[in-house]
A = this chain, B = another copy of it.
Amino acid sequence: MSDPSASYTDVLIIGAGPSGLMAAYWMARCGVKARIIDKRGTKVFTGQADGLRPRTLELFDSMGFVHRVLHEACEASEFAFWGPDETGKLKRQDRNPINDISCSPYGNALLNQGRIERFMLDAIKEHSDLEVERGVIADSLNYDSNLEKNDDEYPITVTLRTLSEEEANPSVAYGGAEGVRNGLFRSNTTPDDWDDLIKKSKERPGNIETVKAKYLIGCDGAHSWTRKQLGIPFEGSTTEHIWGVVDMIPITDFPDIRCVSTVASEYGTMLVIPREKQLVRLYLPLHDVNNTSSSFDRSSVTLEMIREKAKKMFGSFSFDFKVCDWWTVYQIGQRLAPTFSKGRIHLAGDAIHTHSPKAGLGMNMSMQDGFNLGWKLALVAKGVARSCILDTYELERKKTAQMLIDLDRRLQPLFTKQQENGPGAISPDETLVKVMELTMSFANGYICYYGASPLVHKSSEDFSASLIPGERFLPAKVRNQVDGRAWWTTRLFESDGRFRIVLLAGDMRHDEQRHRVSTFSAYLASSGSVLRRFTPKGEQNNSIIDVVTIHSNPLEALEFFEFPEMLRPYDEQKGWAYDQIWSDSECAWDRHCQGKAYDAWGVDRMRGALVILRPDQHVGWVGNIEDVKELAGYFEGVLHQPNDVAKTANHVQK
């Protein structure tokens, strides 16, 4: 069945931007045979996206590099709203903290996309030999749906072309006004140059390769070549909005220039974003165009025009800049792909949703797409998980994308039209301040509304006010039983591809509770337990499902060795697992660890609860410590048993 002229890979990823790299991280982390290509000759270094929401930083923590981001990024701790007073002079209307430590360890942080990509590339390198193949495009895609039912088949055939250095590094990347590097060539909604690149590269011989893949992920941006090959439309608005964007070091007496600020005026509303290395980004609305006409030429916009517009919008405050790091012009409408997947081919990031940069969510949403799809596909490709979990990708991410686009539509008039109607014309419930406040939980990634599926078992009973199946596990700081260190759960629940049973063991100073925990541990040790059933022979008991215990009694009340051995498994090389037992105890030297995690989770401190965490730290199920049948039922619907009948049947079909 194999084609000797083709190369084979399990997963091919087209596009090495934030969503593609997120997906690639999982392939690297889970040891899946994968390739990732990108048409550009280099990664991004300046400009592009820059906003990081708390939920994204939590993911980075679980991937092991949030400390690098926080060290370099600008922390956006306050949000200021400016608008004209009665006399038309700019005035601060409100200034509020953005961060809420009851919701996340992290606030909002700003750092250019190039550094984020660097950290992801480093994380990929740490775990594998996977490298981005740059200056490579796909120029044909063939999908044989007859093969898709057999996990071992390669239904996807793609032809790859290597570009010349010139093609992969268009000279327009440099230049523009004053020789500043600008982003016009790779703004994500310009008519793309993919077809031109294919045509040109065809003129050179000897640079093509046929690749056969089991799975394909298209992370190739708003003009996604992959999406077009699948014939999936990109539905949305008939009006597109033109935005000027500039990263510069401001010379201004505007007092909130280092806060996230909106500045409303008769010219629309400008967004001010403080950044690393004294930079500030401005987003300025230029004008709207009807996307059926192609009358507007983006390349007619110059850096000088953006500078002049900003000067006007800052009103009586002085404004100018001498150092410009990057600038571009965005032309963006709200668009959504009606379907995210076709067979074994999936799309992520800008390929499935576009919207304005106003909500500061583009890169976050794209990375979360790649993160959501990546672990599912990695586990399916490895034969660990059932392929039905791939259906949850669209289920979970499409709703989120739709909400994002709705938010963007809601914000649109507040940015472009507010001042046309005069300061008093907006409904008091629909001001920028109000809308931002109302949508904060969604924007920061605290709530995502993932629906019921094999991966999300909604409980009939409420075991916990804040541990809600489908939502992320609410982060808290807990202390290690053995060494007393305080860690955020976001770091503790490392993104290593494993499901987790989180045993909230309650207060084990009480005999009855201790007995409940012992009974559960005996279940784990039994031959019918999910650990034994779903772990392949010869592997550690925790290679597929990890068990982490967090009890509620004081650290000092129990010794590590008093916990049942199944909760701190023994390894012949490394002794007992000291990292598996934690306590919701106060920490004298860490004011963020207050021994109140159970309270935040809404879990009974005495009786505890049992939680299934997906590899992405989302809650899959919550129950009582006795509910081992439901626990088993969850994993039966999601994982293959190593001697699984259904899987064997597939092999036989072949």
Most B Cβ at <10 Å: residue of A67, A75, A589: A589
Question: Which one of B259, B560, B576, B589 contacts A484 once the chains associate, using CB atoms below 8 Å?
Answer: B259
Contact B589 A77 (CB under 8 A): yes
Q: Is A483's CB under 8 angstroms from B68's CB? A: no
Contact with B along A139-158 (1 / 0, CB 8 A): 00000000000000000000
Q: Would you call the interface of chain A mostly helix, strand, loop, or mixed?
A: loop
Which among A249-257, A392-400, A411-419, A423-431 touches the partner chain? A249-257
A312 interfacial by beta-carbon distance below 8 Å: no
Cβ–Cβ < 8 Å partners of A480 in chain B: 258
Whether A323 contacts B574 by the Cβ 8 Å rule is yes
Instruction: Determine whether A78 belongs to the interface, using a CB cutoff of 8 Å to chain B.
Output: yes
Q: Which of A99-107, A116-124, A492-500 contacts B (4 or more CB under 8 A)?
A: A99-107
Question: Chain B residues near A67 (CB, 8 Å)?
Answer: 67-68, 70-71
Are the CB atoms of B101 and A278 closer together than 8 Å? Answer: no
Chain B residues with CB under 8 A of A573: 249, 322-323
Does B322 contact A482, Cβ atoms closer than 8 Å?
no
Distance of A323 Cα from B75 Cα, bound (Å): 42
Nearest CB on B from A57, distance (A): 13
Given contacts A257-B482, A258-B482, A575-B250, contact A107 B561 (CB under 8 A): no
Contacts of A107 in B (CB 8 A): 589
Q: Which residue of B lies closest to A555 (CB)?
A: B78
Q: Closest approach, in angstroms, between the C-beta of A180 and any C-beta of chain B?
A: 14
Question: Shortest distance in angstroms between A630's beta carbon and chain B's nearest beta carbon?
Answer: 34
Interfacial chain B residues near A253, Cβ < 8 Å:
561, 576
Name the CB-closest residue of B to A96. Answer: B588
Shortest C-beta distance, A106 to chain B (Å), equals 10
Asked if A97 is at the interface (CB within 8 A of a chain B CB), the reply is yes
A174 proximal to B (CB < 8 A): no
Across the interface, which residues of B come within 8 angstroms of A322, CB to CB? 572-574
A559 close to B (CB within 8 Å): yes
The complex places the Cα of A482 from the Cα of B78 at a distance, in Å, of: 10
For A97, A100, A574, the residue with the greatest tally of chain B CB atoms inside 10 Å of its CB is A574
A 527-568 contacts with B by CB, 8 A:
559-561
CB of A442 closer than 8 Å to a CB of B: no
Complex CA gap A626/B384 in Å reads: 73
The CA-CA distance from A256 to B259 in the complex, in Å, is: 47
The answer, yes or no, to whether A592 is at the interface (CB within 8 Å) is yes
Render A495-536 as a binary contact track against B, CB cut-off 8 A, 1 for contact: 000000000000000000000000000000000000000000
- A 49-65 to B, binary, CB cutoff 8 A, 1 in contact else 0: 00000000000000010
Fill in one digit per residue for A424-463: 1 if any B CB lies within 8 Å of its CB, else 0: 0000000000000000000000000000000000000000
Decide yes or no: A483 and B259 within 8 Å by CB, A99-B589, A101-B591, A589-B107 being known contacts.
yes
Determine whether the beta carbon of A255 is less than 8 Å from that of B101: no
State the Cβ distance, A564 to closest chain B Cβ, in Å.
Answer: 14
Q: Is the CB of B483 within 8 A of A560?
A: no
Q: Mark A75-103, 1 if CB is under 8 A from B, else 0.
A: 11110000000000000000001011100
Contact of A574 among B75, B278, B482, B572 (CB under 8 A): B278
Q: Does A615 contact B (CB under 8 A)?
A: no
A578 at the interface (CB under 8 A from B): yes
> Which of chain B's residues has its CB closest to A573's CB?
B322
Chain B residues in 8 Å Cβ range of A255: 482, 559-561
Q: Bound state CA distance, A484 and B278, in angstroms?
A: 15
Tell whether A77 pairs with B574 under 8 Å between CB atoms, given A67-B67, A255-B559.
Answer: no
Contacts of A484 in B (CB 8 A): 77-78, 97, 259
A454 vs B488: C-alpha distance in the bound complex, in angstroms? 46
Q: How far is A575 from B99 in the complex, measured between Cα atoms in Å?
A: 28
Q: Are A589 and B252 in contact (CB under 8 A)?
A: no
Distance in angstroms between the alpha carbons of A101 and B71 in the assembled complex: 21
Nearest B residue to A592 via CB reads B591
> Are A251 and B575 closer than 8 Å at their CB atoms?
yes
A172 to B127, CA, bound (A): 31
CB A272 to nearest CB in B, in angstroms, measures: 11
A333 on the B face (CB < 8 A): no
Cβ distance A563 to chain B, nearest Cβ, rounded Å:
11
- With an 8 A cutoff between CB atoms, is A274 at the interface? yes
The docked-state distance in angstroms from the alpha carbon of A67 to that of B71 is 7
Interface hub of A253, A484, A588 (most chain B Cβ within 10 A):
A484
Binding site for B on A (CB under 8 A): 64, 67-68, 70-71, 74-78, 97, 99-101, 107, 249-253, 255-259, 274, 278, 322-323, 480, 482-486, 559-561, 572-576, 578, 587-592
Please name 17 pairs of A and B residues whose Cβ atoms are closer than 8 Å in the assembled complex, sorted by A: A64-B71, A67-B70, A75-B483, A77-B485, A77-B589, A97-B589, A100-B589, A101-B589, A249-B574, A250-B575, A251-B574, A251-B575, A253-B561, A256-B482, A257-B482, A257-B578, A591-B591
Sample of 13 further A-B pairs with CB below 8 A, known A67-B67, A259-B484: A67-B68, A68-B68, A74-B483, A75-B485, A101-B589, A101-B591, A249-B575, A256-B482, A259-B483, A274-B483, A322-B572, A322-B574, A591-B591
